[in-house]
A and B are shown apart, each in its own frame.
Chain A
Amino acid sequence: MSDDRDLIARLRRGDEDAFRDLVGSLHGRLLRFARALGLTAALAEEVVQETWLAVLRGLERFEGRSALTTWIFAICANGARTRAAREGREIPLGDLSRDPEEPAVDPSRFRPSGAWAQPPPRGDARPPDEILLSREAASRVREALDALPPAQRAVVVLRDLEGLPGPEVCNVLGLTESNMRVLLHRGRSRLRGVLEDYVRGGGETHPGGRT
């Protein structure tokens, strides 16, 4: 967070370049996050603008206990919540009682013993971090991400797209560690399932085809 300290000092000095860099790096990501929380494009736009104004108002008092980015995402999440409430809606975060139990894999794919009856198809043999999803495969997974329930989507966006550490995701969304992990697990499991269906249907996961 020492980079943060430097950046915050520049912002507090009124360094406009520093502010432009910050906005340039975060504006689009905040919009994506606000959309992930279930806001319409227009509302997300408003909430993100209000977020920046709140950042300016709060910057002098920001104590750096979290990363600057996390703090800004948290302001955005609060703004989104307030905004949704004003529109008579709420963002259902952390209320897992309303989420039906969702197994990671359809239970009918297991034998009564819990062993696979219908195992996942064999994918390509590369190590996972060398697998580059084909454009088609990536867009299937992206559609599935867009279709996740808001709470799962918000957690997956912050943890897996933004790469925030788990505890910071909890702070931003006001979730307990265990609820956050349940949401992450459900979201990720769905995305994995979509990729599996795609492979099962004969789709190629790698731009160059399967090895």
Chain B
Amino acid sequence: MMLACREMTELTTDYLERQLSWWDRMRFLMHIGMCGACWEYVRGMKAVLANFHRIGTEVVPPEVPPELFDRFRNWKR
């Protein structure tokens, strides 16, 4: 059975996480091979994932309380 485009959009994460069964993976790949719109859909998802290092919410420059290092120094004593 061919997967419908709508099913494809629900299986994309499992496909990218390599969690589809062998048979579902084949069906998924067969569908993208023939359907430009789903191919575009999966590309859009991959583009988001490939850009996470740019998307990441700013990592606050750590203001580590100095007491933490005192605690470490005294940790073994």
Contacts and interface: CB of A to CB of B under 8 A. Distances in A.
Nearest to A23: B64
A107 B37 CA distance: 15
Given A19-B72, A188-B48, A133 B37 contact: no
B62 A28 contact: yes
A132 B54 contact: yes
A35 B14 CA distance: 27
Nearest to B37: A119
Interface string A16-55: 1001100110011101100110000000000001001100
Contacts of A114: 4-7
**Does more than half of chain A's interface fall in helix, strand or loop, or is it mixed?**
helix
Interface string A134-164: 0000100110011000000000000011000
Contacts, number: 143
Contact of B51 (A132, A181, A199): A132
A16 B37 contact: no
Contact of A31 (B10, B54, B62): B62
Interface stretch (A66-74, A81-89, A190-198): A190-198
A5 B23 CA distance: 40
A160 B9 contact: no
B72 A56 contact: yes
* Tier of interface size on chain B: 35 or more
Contacts of B61: 28
A36 B58 CA distance: 12
Interface of A: 14, 16, 19-20, 23-24, 27-29, 31-32, 35-36, 49, 52-53, 56, 103-105, 107, 110, 113-116, 119-123, 128-129, 131-133, 138, 141-142, 145-146, 160-161, 166, 181, 184-185, 188-189, 191-192, 195-196, 199, 205
Given A123-B43, A185-B14, 17 more contacts: A14-B75, A19-B72, A23-B68, A24-B64, A27-B62, A28-B60, A28-B62, A32-B57, A56-B75, A114-B7, A116-B5, A120-B37, A123-B44, A138-B51, A185-B10, A188-B48, A189-B13
27 contacts: A14-B75, A19-B72, A23-B64, A28-B59, A28-B60, A31-B62, A105-B6, A107-B6, A115-B6, A116-B38, A119-B41, A120-B37, A123-B44, A128-B49, A132-B54, A133-B47, A142-B55, A142-B57, A160-B49, A161-B56, A181-B14, A189-B9, A191-B48, A192-B44, A195-B44, A195-B48, A199-B44
